Structures are given as structure tokens and as C-alpha cells.
Chain A
Amino acid sequence: AQKVTQAQTEISVVEKEDVTLDCVYETRDTTYYLFWYKQPPSGELVFLIRRNSFDEQNEISGRYSWNFQKSTSSFNFTITASQVVDSAVYFCALSEALSGNTPLVFGKGTRLSVIA
């Protein structure tokens, strides 16, 4: 069975600090996708990134970066120089890739509060 664990329930940082959100996953599939979504107070899930299991190259997008390590089954998300607008709940999710049926399995989320 697939499982995603986000051990950090809540994190609070001061603006401009860097923050890393942890994600650990479990799957028996050899091919799968990992995702991060942001859920601001408005409630809508906003897609941030998708990574397939064959590509362990880290990715950077502006202030966001992702560290995928297959050896430790982790897909961590770092926000550099955090801003108040980054305050939200962040979800890590996993889906299998080959069956044609790819519902997402989500972690419980990490609530990030960035204080001015």
C-alpha cells in the first residue's frame, strides 16, 4: 500500500527565514510520481511540482526547491527567504504511474505560518 508521511504538523518561521518541509513516502511500485500542493486559507489546492521516480535531479523554481532522494524515500520541499504569502498548508502526495488509475495519496499536510 502507498503511504505519505508528513511528520511536521505545524511550522512557524519569521519572514525571510528558510524553511524545509519534510515528506517521506512508502510504495511498492517501481514507477511513481510525487507531488507537492499548496492550500492557502482560501482552500483551493494549488499544484506546485510533479516529479517522477526516474528523475532524482533536484529542482529549483524561484524561492522553491525540492530534494528527491530515492534511497531514503524522501521528497523534501524548501522555501528560501520565506514570505507571509507562503503561509498555507502544504501537502505532499504520491501516485503510481503505470496502471492507468492514478488517484493521489496525500500526507496529512504541514501548516506553515510565516510571521512578519
Chain B
Amino acid sequence: GAGVSQTPSNKVTEKGKYVELRCDPISGHTALYWYRQSLGQGPEFLIYFQGTGAADDSGLPNDRFFAVRPEGSVSTLKIQRTERGDSAVYLCASSPRRQRGGLYTDTQYFGPGTRLTVL
């Protein structure tokens, strides 16, 4: 079946501009995660959705970052007043959110990412 898709694959913008990054999760997956990966680093958590609500946004670096998932499927990560330090690959992942015997057995499946470059 289709995996997680992200658009655009590349985005170049100027400092101070507003950008939107889109994530389309695997069909039927209720949990959706955004991560940011800087060069030479592992992905770092930004925000997690369970359904339509943001269950944990503790990883968002500041109030310029915001994400929505209005219908519980597609999500958009929004960055206002972009800065050069925002340049990174933004990864989206989804998981089926199965619960077995009290343990959550999430495996997160990742999309190809959006490479954001702020000039």
C-alpha cells in the first residue's frame, strides 16, 4: 500500500517568509508525528497528533511553529517568519496506534521528508 507522503520534497524560501509543509499519512493510521532533522543529526521530535488533536507539542521550538490536522488525516506544519536556523529536513511519520495488553506497540513509518532551505 501507499506509504507516508510529504509535499513539497524541497522548499527554498527567504528569511522572514511563511511556509507550509504537508504530510499525508498511511491510510488508517491515527497517530501522526513531525520530526526535524538537521545535517548530521538524528531526527528530533516536534509534535504528535492522536486523531485531530495535538497530544504533545513539547518539541516545537517556539511559537513560530504550528501544526494542524483538522480531519484526523492530512497534517500541515506551518512556520512563520522563517529563520536561517529553520533550515533542515522535516520528517513526518504515522503509526497505527494499536494497543495490546496495556502496552502501546507503535511502530512509526516515515515519509521521505521535506528539505527546507531558508536563505
Contact = CB atoms under 8 A, between A and B. Distances in A.
Interface of A: 4, 31, 33, 35, 37, 42-47, 50, 52, 91, 93, 95, 97-98, 100-109
A3 to B, nearest CB: 11
A88 B93 CA distance: 19
Interface in B49-108: 50, 55-56, 59, 89, 91, 93, 102-108
A37 to B, nearest CB: 8
Range for the number of chain B residues in contact with chain A: 20 to 34
Residue picked from B42, B89, B115, most chain A C-beta under 10 Å: B42
B56 A103 contact: yes
Contact of B41 (A93, A95, A108): A108
Contact of B113 (A33, A43, A46, A109): A43
A104 B45 contact: yes
Contact of B103 (A91, A98, A109): A98
Nearest to B41: A108
B112 A104 contact: no
A31 B104 CA distance: 10
- Closest 6 A/B residue pairs (Cβ): A106-B42, A45-B110, A103-B45, A44-B112, A101-B56, A102-B106
Contacts of B103: 31, 52, 97-98
